[in-house]
A and B are shown apart, each in its own frame.
Chain A
Amino acid sequence: DVKVTQSSRYLVKRTGEKVFLECVQDMDHENMFWYRQDPGLGLRLIYFSYDVKMKEKGDIPEGYSVSREKKERFSLILESASTNQTSMYLCASSLQYYSNSDTQYFGPGTRLTVL
């Protein structure tokens, strides 16, 4: 059974802190994605990675960076957390050579609150 796990379900941090959100998948997928989900705005793509050490900006990359040192792990980094980064963060993965029958598999999400 496919599985995407995220390091924390709930996280509370202070403004200015450096925050790491971790995502691990066990499906040997090449592509990994980070989204944030906000009421009224839906899911928006922050960054994605199609291979180890490769990354591409999504629609809202400002204030975030990512790291992919191993195929199975994709980290989202908030260098200096701000209150407007309070959100639900969702990680997903998919096959690299994407065909139109492939889907993305999502983790359970991390609810981050920045005080």
Chain B
Amino acid sequence: KQEVTQIPAALSVPEGENLVLNCSFTDSAIYNLQWFRQDPGKGLTSLLLIQSSQREQTSGRLNASLDKSSGRSTLYIAASQPGDSATYLCAVTRGSQGNLIFGKGTKLSVKP
């Protein structure tokens, strides 16, 4: 059974710091891995999607990497800003219909 774990559960950093969020999964047979952002009381917004054959994806200050063999992914945020404060969720896709299995998230707080 696929399990997704995110460490740490919460993180507080000063503005401007570079940071890394971690995600691990137990079964390497995945279609893709995605990172989502969730603001308090809101839905999820997709940030980055890494296909199973890819190693990394970049969007602006965000960079996500994938190592299928070790069952790990990282989300790197450069030069963090208070607006980055949110919960970040990692999810892997199982099955041909795109069902997602989520980690429990990392709650990030960036202090001015």
Contact = CB atoms under 8 A, between A and B. Distances in A.
A4 B45 CA distance: 12
A78 interface: no
Nearest to A88: B41
Interface in B14-73: 31-32, 34, 36, 41-46, 49, 51-53
A68 to B, nearest CB: 14
Interface residue range, chain A: 20 to 34
A10 B76 CA distance: 34
Contacts of A92: 44
B98 A109 contact: no
Interface in B66-109: 89, 91, 93, 96-100, 102-105
A23 to B, nearest CB: 11
Contacts of B44: 90, 92, 106
B45 A98 contact: no
A43 interface: yes
Contact of A108 (B42, B52, B91, B105): B42
Nearest to A50: B97
Interface string A28-61: 0001010000001111010010100000001000
B12 to A, nearest CB: 18
Interface of B: 31-32, 34, 36, 41-46, 49, 51-53, 89, 91, 93, 96-100, 102-105
10 contacts: A4-B43, A40-B104, A43-B100, A45-B99, A94-B97, A98-B97, A101-B51, A106-B44, A108-B42, A109-B42
